[in-house]
């Protein structure tokens, strides 16, 4: 180890959610064992460790929302709950022998590219420093909760927490609760806590489109079949995938065809919401799909209950125990729960990476996130993102995108091996530019850009830097292998023979 001042690894993976654990499995499959997974928390699981709110479950069916290389015949429900998904990720960690690689309680605070040595120096909050030839950043697009800066919040005497950091020590029974936001988490929380609380006031800036959710228990017979004849589980996954591949065409190319789905969503609402005034408040005025389509068969029935109020306005101020909406509505509450999403287009990790030009990724991306095939940003050699820019999906499983990116990672490492020596790949600005122009050109026709809404898919400049405007198979094809023409090959300076210690002239 004398060669290195710090511990050296070939690959450092940051994060241990689906992305980081998937990368770890893939590295082992490729025969790479010299790697670590750095995780800031005290357990693996990412999203499914942090989101433990009542009612938390996936909204893509479990047989598709899981790794293709680790099928789970035992999923208990079509849309399994957080505790089962978290247990699945723990199981994957054990099954693939990942524990020896994982370093918990290692929050990465800085990564700096050493242009001479061609490695990344990685510093963690606990004082650890190590160097890695390649960094795989799998810190998650929905990992750092976003809480709005509400004037007067510090004067609130009750409990305040974010959906992704649920306060399990606080008993909501008989309490007056303000739920802020109507996104994917909020619509799961509302029906879960409504029977328990005294009064629930929902602050809604924009109503979501909500489709019925075909959630049911998976029978013992089905599980037996998937266990005994694994091909049936594969077929089920294939069907779920295929339907979504077809559906996405309407999102990306023919948003007008989505009107038909709006009819189903409206019927879902009309079944439970009989009050015309409330129905009007809950009816979106933008095309379905523009914001993430939410799935729930229990949300509207909960909103129809007498202990629920929907304020069609955002939270603007807190005055002691009174929460004030932008429309002036005042409500006294005991607790405020923020279901206000995450730092998606302003990922905190971007402030913690300093690339080849000595500037951070956040500075590089100040005009908007951009990278080559969702992986490599200009100026950040051998630094790859899992679920990077424009890799998100509106209607299918993110695991499909993660696995496509793992193919790219595997080929990236093979290319480095083939090139040999101390070498790095630096994405060419022209290649990154060309890729993003193509992505943005295709984006113009999509429902996310044309549907008439403001969503978290768009960044501060109104540019959609989050969603992939195509099918998952197109992305898989685009990331099957690394095209070396899109990268500059950077080699460490080899000292002239005379400079080599002990060299004979
Ligand atoms: C409530 C909820 C439900 C969802 N449901 C679905 C669904 O049904 N279908 C779907 O496709 N997608 C869903 N998603 C999206 C989901 O985020 C992705 O599917 C997937 O779990 C992301 O995995 P990841 O590993 O990239 O990120 P994460 O799971 O967020 O993991 C990132 C990890 O990185 C760690 N980390 C972050 N910063 C640092 C640092 N500086 N140092 C060290 N470690 C760090 C975090 O602690 C975390 O463990 C959902 C998201 C949420 C929040």
349-373 per-position pLDDT tens digit? 999 999 999 999 999 999 999 999 9
pTM for this entry: 0.95
Dihedral (CA of 100, 101, 107, 112) sign:
positive
Q: What are the chain's domains?
A: 3-143+344-501 (3.50.50.60), 153-214+247-338 (3.50.50.60)
Residues in the chain: 505
The yes-or-no verdict on residue 498 having pLDDT over 80 is no
Q: Are 150 and 315 in contact (CB under 8 A)?
A: yes
Question: What pLDDT does residue 1 have?
Answer: 43
Rg, the chain, Cα only = 24
Ligand 1, CB cutoff 6 Å, lining residues: 14-20, 38-41, 46-47, 51, 56, 58-60, 65, 107-108, 138-140, 142-143, 185, 349, 386-387, 397-398
Cα 414 versus chain centre, distance:
27
- Average pLDDT, stretch 12-34? 98
Q: Which residues of 109-144 are buried (b: 16+ CB within 10 A; e: fewer)?
A: ebbbbebeebbbbbbbeeebebbbbbbbbbbbbbbb
Tell me the average pLDDT of the chain.
94
Q: Which of 50, 59, 139 to mutate to test the pocket of ligand 1 (most atoms within 8 A of CB)?
A: 139
Cα–Cα separations (whole angstroms), residue 8 to 86, 245, 303, 352:
31, 42, 55, 20
Question: What pLDDT does residue 226 have?
Answer: 97
Q: What percent of the chain has pLDDT over 70?
A: 97
User: Ligand 1 centre from 143 Cα, in Å?
Assistant: 5
Q: Which of 13, 37, 39, 46 to mutate to test the pocket of ligand 1 (most atoms within 8 A of CB)?
A: 46
More confident residue, 344 or 476: 476
Which atom, in ligand 1's list, is nearest to the CA of 139?
34
Q: Which of 143, 237, 338 to mutate to test the pocket of ligand 1 (most atoms within 8 A of CB)?
A: 143
Residues 125-152: pLDDT tens digits? Answer: 999 999 999 999 999 999 999 999 999 9
Which atom, in ligand 1's list, is nearest to the CA of 59?
8
Question: What pLDDT does residue 505 have?
Answer: 34
| Ordered alpha helix ranges (H), 338-428 | 361-364, 398-419
More confident residue, 425 or 504: 425
Lowest-confidence segment of 84-93, 184-193, 494-503 by average pLDDT: 494-503
Q: Are 348 and 393 in contact (CB under 8 A)?
A: no
Question: What pLDDT does residue 461 have?
Answer: 84
Structure tokens at 406: 């793992």
Which atom, in ligand 1's list, is nearest to the CA of 387?
26
The yes-or-no verdict on residue 503 having pLDDT over 60 is no
The yes-or-no verdict on residue 501 having pLDDT over 70 is no
User: Ligand 1 centre from 434 Cα, in Å?
Assistant: 29
Taking the C-alpha atoms of residue 317 and residue 149, their distance in angstroms, rounded to an integer, is 9
CB atoms within 10 A of CB 241: 20
- Average pLDDT, stretch 364-391? 96
pLDDT band at 2 (very low <50, low <70, confident <90, very high): very low
């Amino acid at each position: 180890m004398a060669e290195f001042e710090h511990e050296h690894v070939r690959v450092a993976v940051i994060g241990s959610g689906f992305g980081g654990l998937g990368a770890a499995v893939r590295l082992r499959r490729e025969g790479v064992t010299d790697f670590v997974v750095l995780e800031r928390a005290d357990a693996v699981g990412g999203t499914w460790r942090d989101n433990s709110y009542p009612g938390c479950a996936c909204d893509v069916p479990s047989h598709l929302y899981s790794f293709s290389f680790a099928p789970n015949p035992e999923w208990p429900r079509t849309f399994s709950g957080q505790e089962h998904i978290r247990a699945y990720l723990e199981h994957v960690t054990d099954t693939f022998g990942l524990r020896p690689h994982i370093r918990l309680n290692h929050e990465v605070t800085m990564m700096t590219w050493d242009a001479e040595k061609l490695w990344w120096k990685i510093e963690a909050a606990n004082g650890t420093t190590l160097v890695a030839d390649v960094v795989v950043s799998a810190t998650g697009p929905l990992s750092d909760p976003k809480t709005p800066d509400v004037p007067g919040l510090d004067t609130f005497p009750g409990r305040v927490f974010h959906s992704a950091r649920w306060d399990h020590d606080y008993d909501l029974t008989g309490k007056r609760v303000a739920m802020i936001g109507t996104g994917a988490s909020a619509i799961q929380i509302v029906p879960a806590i409504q029977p328990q609380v005294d009064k629930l006031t929902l602050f809604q800036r924009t109503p979501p489109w909500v489709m019925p959710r075909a959630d049911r228990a998976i029978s013992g017979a089905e599980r037996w079949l998937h266990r005994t004849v694994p091909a049936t589980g594969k077929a089920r996954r294939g069907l779920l995938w295929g339907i979504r591949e077809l559906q996405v065409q309407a999102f990306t190319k023919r948003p007008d065809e989505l009107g038909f789905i709006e009819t189903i969503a409206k019927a879902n609402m009309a079944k439970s919401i009989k009050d015309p005034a409330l129905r009007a408040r809950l009816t979106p005025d933008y095309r379905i799909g523009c914001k993430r389509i939410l799935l729930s068969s229990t949300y509207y029935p909960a909103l129809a209950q007498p202990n629920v109020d929907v304020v069609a306005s955002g939270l603007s101020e807190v005055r002691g125990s009174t929460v004030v909406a932008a429309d002036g509505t005042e409500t006294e509450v005991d607790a405020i729960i923020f279901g206000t999403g995450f730092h998606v287009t302003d990922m905190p990790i971007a402030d913690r990476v300093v690339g080849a030009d000595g500037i951070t990724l956040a500075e590089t991306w100040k005009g908007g996130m951009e990278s080559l095939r969702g992986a490599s940003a200009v100026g950040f050699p051998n630094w790859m993102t899992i679920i990077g820019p424009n890799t998100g999906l509106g209607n299918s499983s993110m695991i499909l995108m993660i696995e496509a990116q793992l193919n790219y990672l595997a080929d990236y490492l093979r290319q480095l091996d083939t090139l040999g020596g101390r070498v790095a790949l630096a994405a060419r600005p022209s290649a990154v530019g060309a890729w993003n122009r193509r992505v943005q050109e295709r984006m113009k026709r999509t429902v996310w850009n044309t549907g008439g809404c403001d969503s978290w898919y768009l960044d501060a400049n109104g540019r959609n830097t989050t969603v992939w405007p195509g099918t998952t198979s197109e992305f898989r094809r685009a990331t099957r292998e690394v095209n070396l023409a899109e990268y500059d090959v950077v080699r460490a300076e080899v000292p002239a023979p005379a400079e080599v210690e002990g060299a004979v002239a």
